[in-house]
Structure 1
Amino acid sequence: MREYKSFKEIDRDLKLLKLQKEIDKERILLNYNQTKESLSPKRLLKSAAGSIFKNALILKGATKVLGFIGDKWK
Structure 2
Amino acid sequence: MREYKNFDEIERDLKLLKLQKEIDKEKVVLSYNLAKESLSPKRIFKSAAGSIFKNALILKGTTSVLGFIGDRWK
**TM-score normalized by the length of structure 2:** 0.90
Whole-angstrom distance in 2 between the partners of 1:46 and 1:36:
15
Partner of 1:25: 25
* 5+ long unaligned stretches in structure 2: none
Whole-angstrom distance in 2 between the partners of 1:22 and 1:29:
11
Whole-angstrom distance in 1 between the partners of 2:45 and 2:28:
26
AA partner of residue 16 (structure 1): L
Partner of 2:38: 38
Whole-angstrom distance in 2 between the partners of 1:6 and 1:70:
85
**TM-score normalized by the length of structure 1:** 0.90
Post-superposition offset of 1:9: 1.1
Whole-angstrom distance in 2 between the partners of 1:34 and 1:72:
51
Cα RMSD of the aligned pairs, angstroms, is 1.1
Post-superposition offset of 1:53: 0.4
Give the aligned length: 74
